[in-house]
Each structure stands twice: as C-alpha cells, then as structure tokens.
C-alpha cells in the first residue's frame, strides 16, 4: 500500500516503513507527525485519487532528526565583463520514518522500531570514530555540576569604628617681610631752550722725551752733511817706494 502526500510545496510517494527526507518541520526528535494532505492512495489495481485531497486519509510518521543537507555551489558568470561569483548553500531538512497509512477504508502500519540515531553518528561509525565520540560523551556525563545541599551565606564584613587620631600641632612658619617697591622715577619736563655747547676735552701733557727733543739745539743741515761724509771716507793708505833698495 502506498500514498502520495504533499508537504513543503512538493509531492512524495511513500510506503509504511520508508525513510523520508522533506523540508524542515518543527519538532524534536521522536515527535509524532501526521500528514492530512493525501492526494492518492493505491494498493495493487485499486487506486483512489482525491479531488484534490482524499477526505479522512492520513499518513503518520516519526521525526528522526533535523539537519543540513548536502552543500550545493551557485556559480554566476557574465562573459566579457569579468564577473565571477561562487556561493555555497546547505538547506535545512527533516528526516522522517513513515509508520502508517490509513484512508479509503484501508489501513497499513509498520511494526518496526524507530531508530533516532543521527546521520553524523552513523558516518562516524563507518569511519571507526564512534568509540572516540562515545568516550567524549561519557566524560561530559561525568563532569556534572556539584549541587550544594546548603547554600553558603557570605559573611558580612563588620565595619570597625574608625579611631580618631590626635591632631599634631604644626609650628607656624615665619613669613618673610615684604620689601617696599622703589618709587617711580620722575621725568623732568623738557625746556625749549637750545642745548649749551659742550667744553672740548683737555689733551694730556706731552711726554718727557718730546720735551727733551724740543730743548736740544738743532745743528745746521750743511754741517751735518760734512760730518757724515768725513765719517764715510776711509783712511789714506801709505805710499810704496818706487826705487829698488
């Protein structure tokens, strides 16, 4: 027995016991979900088609997990413009286990048990990583917050009275006496009379050597020249005898 249901804007052909992946639905893992939008029910040659839905038909399922689907890449390009864009996207989806189909006077149920193991754990088991994950979960379970039976009250600190310290008398500092400021200078008024001529400075007395030279009598120039010529002439040599001895 099979049925065609509508959810998330899509149509799915399901059987009892099928694992169905649909658009994201609200709910926690293990929640019961019922689809009342049944468009067709068939069993062998007997087929019932709704107009557009079959009244009273119902498909029940159990929510296994809500996860992200496979990543898709969106690439955009505009030629001769240098435009390149690459984006990735992962759509949220819900995984369901179909447990029963009823409608048009027929009913079929699935007798199996629903396993709520998520796909990430199944992949870890396939790669021999499940032991590490289980050990990590066991460590988390051991580290539980410690619950205190009696709340510890914080002791309020007692305020101690402040002790008054005796004030020490400080010796008064002698301030220096202020020096009186000099009186302002009085400027004499200027007179219109012309300024008086200044007396010439007195020259110093001539030196003693200059006085001696002035006192000594000067020789006449002609006598001085003769004395000089006489001093320059050498003394006369003695004459040699002409005859033989």
Condensed to tens digits (0 to 9), the pLDDT of residues 11-20 reads 999 999 999 9
Cβ–Cβ < 8 Å for 16, 101: yes
Measured in degrees and rounded to the nearest 5, phi and psi for residue 62 equal -120, 135
3-state DSSP assignment of residue 162: coil
Domain layout of the chain by residue ranges: 2-129
Instruction: Say yes or no to pLDDT of 245 above 50.
Output: no
Q: What is the DSSP-derived secondary structure letter of residue 44?
A: T
Cβ–Cβ < 8 Å for 1, 106: yes
Instruction: Say yes or no to pLDDT of 97 above 60.
Output: yes
Condensed to tens digits (0 to 9), the pLDDT of residues 151-189 reads 545 455 555 666 666 666 666 666 666 666 666 565 555
Condensed to tens digits (0 to 9), the pLDDT of residues 212-244 reads 555 555 555 555 566 555 555 555 566 666 655
Output the six-digit token pair for 30. 């293990």
**Integer CA distances (angstroms), 141 to 108, 134, 172, 187, 194, in order:** 41, 11, 77, 105, 120
How does the average pLDDT of the chain come out, rounded? 78
Interacting residues of 172 by C-beta distance below 8 A, sequence separation 6+: none
Residue with tokens 């200059």: 210
């Amino acid at each position: 027995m099979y049925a065609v249901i509508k959810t998330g804007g899509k149509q799915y052909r399901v059987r009892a016991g099928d694992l169905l992946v649909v658009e994201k639905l609200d709910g926690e893992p293990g929640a019961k979900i019922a689809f009342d939008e049944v468009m067709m029910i068939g069993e062998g040659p007997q087929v019932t088609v709704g107009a557009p839905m079959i009244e009273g038909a119902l498909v029940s399922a159990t929510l296994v997990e809500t996860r992200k689907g496979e990543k898709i890449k969106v690439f955009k390009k505009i030629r001769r413009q240098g435009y390149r864009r690459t984006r990735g996207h992962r759509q949220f989806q819900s995984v369901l286990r179909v447990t029963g189909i009823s409608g048009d006077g027929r009913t079929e149920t699935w007798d199996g048990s629903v396993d709520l193991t998520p796909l990430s754990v199944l992949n870890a088991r396939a790669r021999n990583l499940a032991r590490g994950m289980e050990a990590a979960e066991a460590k988390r379970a051991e580290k539980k917050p410690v619950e205190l039976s009696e709340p510890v009250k914080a002791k309020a600190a007692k305020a101690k009275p402040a002790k008054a310290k005796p004030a020490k008398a400080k010796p008064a500092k002698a301030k220096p006496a202020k020096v009186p400021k000099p009186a302002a200078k009085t400027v004499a008024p200027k007179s219109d009379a012309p300024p008086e001529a200044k007396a010439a400075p007195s020259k110093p007395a001539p030196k003693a050597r200059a006085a001696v030279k002035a006192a000594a009598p000067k020789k006449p120039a002609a006598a001085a020249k003769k004395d000089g010529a006489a001093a320059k002439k050498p003394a006369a040599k003695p004459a040699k005898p002409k005859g033989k001895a």
